[in-house]
A and B are shown apart, each in its own frame.
Chain A
Amino acid sequence: MEGRSRQKIPGGKLVEVRVEYGERILGVEIVGDFFMHPEEALGRIEDCLIGMRSGEAEGAMVEAIRKEAENAGVEMIGISPEAIAKAIKMAIG
């Protein structure tokens, strides 16, 4: 299945997520007008969500994104691990 969500983060930027999923998340693409430094880290953040259960709690997704972001030394502006996780959950429905 495929799901999409689009949200304007209050005080932040627009984040759109496309998720391919079955019982588990099979693919994730995050697009929007946010900033992320280094830019290459977005691919790592997308990848860290693949394989998670589609019904996983939002909090667990936040933790996975935060851990990956910390490992990659990421600074996010106009977006956050919470906003990404919320968008993923919205896309899965």
Chain B
Amino acid sequence: MKWRLVKFSKNSAFMNMSIDEAILEMVRDGLSPPTIRLYGWSPDAVSIGCFQSMEEEVNVKRCMELGVDCVRRITGGGAVYHDSEGELTYSIIAREDLFPKGIRESYREICGYVVRGLGKIGISAEFAPINDIVTHGKKISGNAQTRREGVLLQHGTILYSLDVRKMFGVLNVSKEKISDKMIKNVEERVTSVRSYSDASIEKLCESIETAFTEGREYDIGRVSNEELSKANGLAKNKYGSRDWNFRR
């Protein structure tokens, strides 16, 4: 089974979610290989979990003023602020029979690659069920998975640098609550690569790529024209639509 590694590129939130789903559809149809994709977000974005309420989780007005994209994922989990300079996202999309049947076990396996990747830049991290990765007791990566028609899609973020004030500016936390105490509280629970490593984001990408591909036969590839065409349709009709993003 030959995998495809799609190297890091930055896209809008709508295209990022659309590309992941387009690849999922093509893997389901046997037209694309199992894929590991690294990406970033430009402009900055907020993604919310499949079951969350956009209005409740996100300061939509502030996002519009700042030009921050807001998108609903097809995966569950919580709201995530995707800083265009401060984060690396991965997706792994493959037939589900390539992974443990149990969802919790497959989180453990896939998050294990991220843990190994962080280890390569000197960060000792561990999987923290249900879906987090922690280092020094603080969260450094959040992950979310879905399975559709025999295909597993897991995407996750690795925090490279952390700007808590910026994050609170777009998530729905009242100004009164953005106290120094609260920021301190978040900084005690969440951390980033920069806090424990001098590695550049390029080095982080390389380490994560290596961790995912070790022991696998793979080609470095790109998102195919057919996948891009599907993704453009999804970006227009689903992920860029109010119907989808504000459905809850």
List the interface of chain A (C-beta within 8 A of B): 12-14, 16, 29-39, 42, 75, 77-78
Do A33 and B77 form a contact, CB below 8 Å, given A39-B50, A39-B51, A77-B104? yes
Report the Cα distance A32→B79, complex, angstroms: 10
- Report if B146 contacts A (CB, 8 A): yes
For residue B135, give the distance in angstroms from its CB to the closest CB of chain A. Answer: 21
Report the Cα distance A30→B56, complex, angstroms: 13
List the interface of chain B (C-beta within 8 A of A): 49-53, 56, 74-79, 103-104, 130-131, 144-148, 248
For residue B134, give the distance in angstroms from its CB to the closest CB of chain A. Answer: 16
> Chain B: which residue is nearest A12 at the CB level?
B130
Q: Which of B51, B53, B104, B148 is A34 in contact with, Cβ under 8 Å?
A: B51
Residue from B51, B53, B104, B145 with most neighbouring chain A CB atoms (10 Å):
B51
Residue from B75, B77, B147, B148 with most neighbouring chain A CB atoms (10 Å):
B77
Cβ contacts A to B, 13 pairs, < 8 Å: A13-B130, A16-B56, A30-B51, A33-B49, A33-B51, A35-B75, A37-B146, A37-B147, A38-B147, A38-B148, A39-B74, A39-B76, A78-B130
Report the Cα distance A38→B148, complex, angstroms: 7
For residue B130, give the distance in angstroms from its CB to the closest CB of chain A. Answer: 6
Report the Cα distance A31→B42, complex, angstroms: 28
The tally of CB-CB contacts under 8 A between chains A and B is 53
Identify the 6 closest CB pairs spanning chains A and B, nearest first.
A33-B78, A35-B76, A31-B53, A39-B50, A33-B49, A31-B248
B130/A77 in contact, CB under 8 A: yes
Q: Would you call the interface of chain A mostly helix, strand, loop, or mixed?
A: strand
For residue A69, give the distance in angstroms from its CB to the closest CB of chain B. Answer: 14
Do A37 and B53 form a contact, CB below 8 Å, given A77-B130, A78-B130? no
Do A29 and B76 form a contact, CB below 8 Å, given A75-B103, A77-B130? no
Other A-B contacts than A12-B130, A37-B146, 8 sampled, CB-CB below 8 A, are A13-B78, A31-B52, A35-B76, A36-B51, A36-B76, A37-B147, A38-B147, A39-B146
B103/A77 in contact, CB under 8 A: yes
Report the Cα distance A31→B79, complex, angstroms: 12
Q: Which of A12, A13, A16, A35 is B103 in contact with, Cβ under 8 Å?
A: A35
For residue B67, give the distance in angstroms from its CB to the closest CB of chain A. Answer: 25
> Chain B: which residue is nearest A36 at the CB level?
B76
Report the Cα distance A42→B49, complex, angstroms: 13
Q: Which of A12, A42, A75 is B51 in contact with, Cβ under 8 Å?
A: A42
B145/A35 in contact, CB under 8 A: yes
B144/A35 in contact, CB under 8 A: yes
Report the Cα distance A14→B74, complex, angstroms: 18
For residue A43, give the distance in angstroms from its CB to the closest CB of chain B. Answer: 10
Report the Cα distance A50→B179, complex, angstroms: 41
